A and B are shown apart, each in its own frame.
Chain A
Amino acid sequence: MLKFFNLIQNENMKIYRKGSTKVMILILLTLVVTVGLIFKFGTKDKPITSEWKQELIAENQQYQKQVEQSNSGPEKKYYQKEIAKNEYRIDHNVKPVSGKNIWNFTNEMTGMTQLIIIFTIIVVSTSISSEFTWGTIKLLLIRPVSRTTILLAKYVSSLIYSIFMILLLFAFSWFIGGILFGFGGADILNLQYVNGHVQEINWVLYEFKQYGLLCVQLIVMVTLAASIASIFRNSSLAIGLSIFLTMAGSIIIQFLSQFEWVKYVLFVNMDLNQYIDGIPFREDMTMGFSLSVLAVYYLIFAIFGWLFFTKRDVAS
């Protein structure tokens, strides 16, 4: 156990001493500030008047028209969701507030997790395959430590990196949000749409849920990247392929959406937010279903990555 801790220390040293890791942190922080500034100065907010109920009713009528005209399923569902939320506000006499507040901003920033996923893919791929490209693997493996433990240390340290980045993102976006839009505002009501019902939910809890769901996606993608890296032992290929798959995922889904078996495709199940605050991709899909599909993919990636790392000769 002590040895595993030592290995994690080693991997952390190799991750954080690298220039590219520092650049990643810098990029993340810069983006949060930039988006914050754009959010504050670049967008116009609709003023909220005392006739907000009438306005919401008018908005709903507009949305209703959209629903009738639209042929696309997701679009219809999006408007239905907005209508439901507006109706909730009217029924419960909850006045809408300006979108320019700290919580809405930190909530928007959860989307940056996608960037963290890409960064972690780079970190885990480099951590595994650069040992092979630099030849350091030959000195790394000839120690009284099993290859499984070494691989596990690399995997775990990459996940620690992603947790660090997520915490940094949350703390920093809260800080920047506070500076730009004022701290406080925890009383602002947040609504979420679950299974056709609108619920009130605490912001912090809501955001932790968002991060939690994104973490599932992160773990699956990072495991995929790790297994590609240990199969091909080539950093550029591992990074390129994983990022391509992340990006191309949605396109692939669109392409395959006409088939029923699309629900077993990895990328369809990756976005779990569709069950929390959104519309499931297919009606017969549930959170449990997606989690099971992801678990199967996860196991396949993990087993392949492990087999290739531990069983194959180091020949070059």
Chain B
Amino acid sequence: MNQPVIKLEHVSKTIGKKTIIDDLSFDIYGGEVFGFLGPNGAGKTTTIRMIVGLMKLSKGNITIHGHSIKTQYKDAIKHVGAIVENPEMYKYLSGYQNLIHYGRMISGITKERIMEIVEVVGLAERIHDKVKRYSLGMRQRLGLAQGLLHKPSVLILDEPTNGLDPAGIREIRHYIRKLAQEEGIAVIVSSHLLSEMELMCDRIGIIQQGKLVGVETVRDFVQSDETMQVQFTVDQPSKASQIIMETLSLRHIKHNETIIELKIKRDDIPLVCESLVHAGIKLYAITSVAKTLEDKFLEVTGGSGIA
């Protein structure tokens, strides 16, 4: 892929004697949605706070477009739009005034740009209402508008779907995918909704107790092996098992009254079908039992420490 947009190099954070983040290194590229996954208290938010400069690094370095967050903060941060935790706004101001407020802090934000982004996040009708009258979902949208105001090349969203209804979640998910694919923005998303991550992200980094357990693409992550778990629904399972065992020279296959389940190489599936059909066995369905992200997550993190 191209040059990494964000580079974390051996980032550590210690508070007192406690190590919150331990030697974190990974890269994030333009055009990808990077999911940051981990149980509560694992250090997701701390890492995000360090990327945006709210917290200082104890060790290591973070660069955004080659600018170090430690020494060239302004150059680094101007590429970034972010929501850290909840999108907290000035409640006694209107949504529009809030956006004006943040727009004034960056050069080149026009009123037209503000109205454009308001339209994009779907707040046009209520933008002149006071924020205290907004629902959580509307605040989330306003937060997104605030983050996208200056057309950043990096978007950092901490729990972006928090408080949204299913329709809103889907909308945000589509929008995030669109930003990454069409505008080449690097998006970092943290979430505890694993199924959500699976649909939204290209790559996922799992963090546990301040350490990076692994970074993998979602596809690899869910199906890391060439072999996959497959279920065959047939009319004569015991006979069918015999045939499959012969075809693939296996010794034992699990089955119940209708379903045979086995681990099988992708290329072997048509082979099995063929032999089953030849033997006159009625084949009703072939289902791949993909491991969900959740299963994998529990496997990797050992299932512990999830609140």
Contact = CB atoms under 8 A, between A and B. Distances in A.
Nearest to A316: B85
A143 B93 contact: no
A7 B104 contact: yes
A142 interface: yes
With most chain A CB atoms within 10 A of its CB, the pick from B53, B88, B146 is B88
Nearest to A18: B92
A136 B146 CA distance: 12
Interface residues of B, number: 34
Contact of B84 (A14, A138, A144, A313): A138
Interface residues of A, number: 26
A97 interface: no
B86 A135 contact: yes
Interface in B79-129: 80, 82-93, 97, 100-102, 104-107
A140 B143 CA distance: 12
A303 interface: no
Contacts of B173: none
A141 B107 contact: no
Contacts of A135: 85-86, 88
Interface in A97-155: 134-136, 138-146
Nearest to B82: A142
A10 B105 CA distance: 9
Contacts of A140: 105
A46 interface: no
A19 interface: yes
B104 A10 contact: yes
With most chain A CB atoms within 10 A of its CB, the pick from B93, B104, B107 is B104
B88 A143 contact: no
A272 to B, nearest CB: 37
B53 A315 contact: no
A13 interface: yes
A136 B105 contact: no
B146 to A, nearest CB: 6
A62 interface: no
A7 B105 contact: yes
Contacts of A65: none
Interface string B34-70: 0000000000000001001111100000000000000
A17 interface: yes
Contact of A3 (B75, B83, B88, B105): B105
A122 to B, nearest CB: 15
B265 interface: no
A203 B90 CA distance: 44
A9 interface: yes
Interface string A11-42: 00110011100000000000000000000000
A142 B78 contact: no
A6 B103 CA distance: 9
A314 interface: yes
B218 interface: no
B93 A141 contact: no
Contacts of B133: none
A315 B84 CA distance: 11
A314 B54 CA distance: 5
A136 B93 contact: no
Given A10-B101, A142-B53, A142-B84, A19 B106 contact: no
Given A17-B97, A313-B56, A315-B49, A138 B104 contact: no
Contacts of B90: 14, 134, 136
Nearest to A11: B101
Contacts of A143: 77, 102, 105-106
Nearest to B158: A138
Contacts of A19: 92
B74 interface: yes
Contacts of A142: 52-54, 77, 80, 82, 84
A217 to B, nearest CB: 30
B88 A13 contact: no
A12 to B, nearest CB: 11
Given A3-B107, A14-B90, A144-B77, A315 B55 contact: yes
Contacts of A141: 53-54
Contact of A6 (B49, B83, B97, B104): B104
Given A10-B105, A138-B84, A313-B56, A145 B74 contact: yes
A144 B78 contact: yes
15 contacts: A2-B107, A3-B105, A9-B104, A10-B105, A14-B101, A136-B89, A139-B89, A141-B53, A142-B77, A144-B73, A144-B77, A144-B78, A146-B73, A146-B74, A315-B54
Interface of B: 49, 52-56, 73-75, 77-78, 80, 82-93, 97, 100-102, 104-107, 143, 146
State the 10 A-B residue pairs at the shortest beta-carbon distance, nearest first: A135-B88, A6-B104, A144-B78, A143-B105, A314-B54, A144-B74, A313-B55, A138-B84, A142-B52, A10-B101
Given A134-B90, A138-B85, 4 more contacts: A135-B88, A138-B54, A142-B53, A146-B73
Interface of A: 2-3, 6-7, 9-10, 13-14, 17-19, 134-136, 138-146, 313-315
